[in-house]
Copies of this chain bind each other. A is one copy, B any other.
């Protein structure tokens, strides 16, 4: 049995829109519009249990997953969404033990998802120039308990003479001008290694795709993923009325060597 104790991370979930990610502390209480929640009520219960607020509302005690941490990070900053993160994981075939390079840490949502997969022996090397984001990301990564699998750099790889990483299995570029970092990213990737760029606009896809070909990448694939929720209820199953919008387009590619003999294998 998997019991909630003092200090355990718990997602108090009322529904998809009302949930609280907390570290249980016996003497704390959470005041919400669905009532008061005493952390103490959760202690000693197995994950998955439900308790009731003083307003008689059910609240589920879930064990936070990477997904829950990411959705929490979402609030306030623009993040890469699970529907897109999932495609990055599946298309690149990311696995435990691999090395990942991320240009543009942002709030650390994607960093968190990547670290969850490559641990314990793999590493995510993430770069950002914004001190503010770096601190936010550090906090978010720590909260997800993944700090020791992530190496954060306060630097602009485009201005670094020496690349601190080599033979990476996957590189992520999340910059407004993704094409500008392609040469540096190429040097950090192993031959046939995967690259993913997060692009909010079609113009970025267009400029990036051209830069990838120039920089000897192959298997270039640009896609978007539309996630639709279905309300499955007896006799009245239908898609949700609330809409599904745009998050980001993704551009995938793999590092190649165009020279017939691969003598450029140096970079």
Which residues in chain A, 239-265, are within 8 Å of chain B measured between CB atoms? 239-247, 249, 251, 254-258, 260-262, 265
* Interface range, A side: 35 or more
Contact B222 A225 (CB under 8 A): no
Q: Give the Cβ gap from A65 to chain B, nearest Cβ, in Å.
A: 3
Contacts of A227 in B (CB 8 A): 87, 223-225
The one of B16, B190, B233 in contact with A221, judged by C-beta atoms closer than 8 angstroms, is B16
The one of B47, B62, B230, B241 in contact with A223, judged by C-beta atoms closer than 8 angstroms, is B230
Contact A232 B96 (CB under 8 A): no
A161 interface contact, C-beta 8 A? no
Contact B245 A232 (CB under 8 A): no
Contacts of A28 in B (CB 8 A): none
A72 interface contact, C-beta 8 A? no
Stretch of A29-37, A127-135, A151-159, A200-208 on the interface side: A200-208
Contact B237 A206 (CB under 8 A): yes
The one of B46, B50, B224, B231 in contact with A218, judged by C-beta atoms closer than 8 angstroms, is B50
Contact A65 B49 (CB under 8 A): no
Contact B223 A226 (CB under 8 A): no
Among A49, A90, A261: residue with most chain B CB under 10 A: A90
Q: Which residue of B lies closest to A210 (CB)?
A: B234
Q: Give the Cβ gap from A56 to chain B, nearest Cβ, in Å.
A: 11
A16-B221, A95-B116, A223-B229 as given contacts; A237 in contact with B203, CB under 8 Å = yes
Digitize A179-191: 1 where CB-to-B-CB distance is under 8 Å, 0 elsewhere.
0000000000011
Contacts of A96 in B (CB 8 A): 96-97, 116-120
Known: A48-B257, A67-B91, A86-B87. 20 other contacts (CB 8 A): A2-B192, A47-B190, A49-B256, A50-B218, A61-B192, A62-B192, A62-B254, A67-B90, A67-B92, A83-B225, A85-B86, A86-B89, A89-B89, A94-B117, A95-B117, A117-B117, A223-B228, A225-B225, A225-B226, A243-B245
